[in-house]
């Protein structure tokens, strides 16, 4: 995962100057800074970098496995539901102030609202041979947005009025859904035969 960094700047009149690096002991953590966003700051802004990147989430098993205990091939159905939710590279809840700032900026920048969660449900049919078990897998389509936070404090916070959180990434369900749905079959184990075909 990308490293998240916090940097500071000192305000001198109307000019922003990069301040000398603070010692590690004096630097606030990224969590401490983001917790202050709109909760002790004069300004807390998110600056996105580039367009959202779309990617495919890892496929995971969904629904229950189906067991063919007959001596003929069967067309079996698996009803499933799979939910995906937002997250970020800091591991903090996006319902906090910094998350709300992110969502307002996202909509203003890209022209549509950020999707915090999405649930996909369907019934998938699998052809399962005699003595085999079938499974369905789903991988949601996701999006990633990169950017940085700029934060101005009315009073010095860890010896500086201005702090930046660089390398922030937010992840959420893509607006144009259409994740992958795959299936597989394999022979049942002896234990599965005993448990499901007794």
Residue 158 and residue 144: Cα distance in Å, rounded? 31
Rg (CA), the chain: 24
- Answer yes or no: are the C-beta atoms of 132 and 185 closer than 8 Å: yes
Residue 17's pLDDT band, with cuts at 50, 70 and 90, is very low
Q: How far apart are CA 49 and CA 71, in angstroms?
A: 58
What's the confidence (pLDDT) of residue 176? 76
Residue given tokens 């990633």 in the structure block:
144
Q: For residue 185, what pLDDT is reported? A: 97
pLDDT the model gives residue 23: 52
Supply the pTM of this predicted model. 0.80
Portion of the chain with pLDDT greater than 90, in percent: 83
Question: 27 or 79, which is more confident?
Answer: 79
pLDDT tens digit string along 97-117?
999 999 999 999 999 999 999
Q: What is the pLDDT of residue 14?
A: 29
For the chain, the three-class secondary structure string (H helix, E strand, C coil) is: CCCCEEEEEEEECCEEEECCCCCCCCCCCHHHHHHCCCCCCCEEEEEEEEEEEEEECCCEEEEEEEECCCCCCEEEEEEEEEEEECEECCCCCCCCHHHHHHHHHHHHHHCCCCCCEEEEEEEEEEEECCCEEEEEEEECEEEEEEEEEEEEEEEEECCEEEEEEEEEEEEEECCCCCCEEEEEEEECCHHHHHHHCC
Give residue 175's pLDDT band: very low, low, confident or very high (50, 70, 90). Answer: confident
Question: Does the pLDDT value for residue 30 go beyond 80?
Answer: yes
Cα(95)–Cα(29) distance, integer angstroms:
19
User: Residue 156 — very low, low, confident or very high, per pLDDT cuts 50/70/90?
Assistant: very high
Q: Mean pLDDT score of the chain, rounded to an integer?
A: 89
Q: What is the pLDDT of residue 182?
A: 96
Please, what is the end-to-end C-alpha distance for the chain in angstroms?
47
Q: What is the pLDDT of residues 73-98, one digit of tens each?
A: 999 999 999 999 999 999 999 999 99
According to the model, what pLDDT value does residue 20 have?
A: 47
pLDDT band at 178 (very low <50, low <70, confident <90, very high): confident
62 pLDDT band, cuts 50/70/90, is: very high
Report the alpha-carbon distance of residue 14 to residue 12 in Å, rounded. Answer: 6
- pLDDT over threshold 50, residue 11: no
């Amino acid at each position: 995962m990308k490293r998240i960094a916090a940097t500071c700047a000192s305000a001198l009149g109307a000019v922003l100057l990069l301040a000398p690096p603070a010692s590690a002991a004096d630097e606030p953590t990224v969590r401490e800074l983001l917790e202050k966003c709109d909760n002790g700051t004069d300004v807390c802004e998110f600056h996105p970098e580039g367009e959202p990147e779309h990617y495919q989430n890892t496929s995971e098993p969904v629904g229950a496995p189906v067991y063919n205990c007959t001596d003929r091939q069967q067309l079996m159905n698996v009803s499933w539901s799979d939910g995906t939710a937002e997250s970020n590279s800091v591991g903090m809840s996006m319902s906090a102030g910094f998350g709300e700032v992110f969502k307002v900026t996202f909509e203003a920048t890209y022209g549509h609202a950020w999707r915090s969660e999405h649930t996909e449900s369907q019934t998938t049919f699998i052809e399962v041979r005699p003595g085999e078990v079938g499974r369905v897998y789903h991988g949601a389509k996701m999006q990633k947005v990169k950017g940085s936070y700029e934060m101005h404090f009315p009073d010095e916070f860890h010896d500086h009025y201005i702090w930046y959180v660089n390398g922030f990434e937010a992840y959420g369900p893509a607006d144009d859904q259409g994740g992958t749905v795959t299936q597989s079959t394999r022979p049942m184990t002896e234990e599965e035969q005993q448990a499901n075909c007794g």
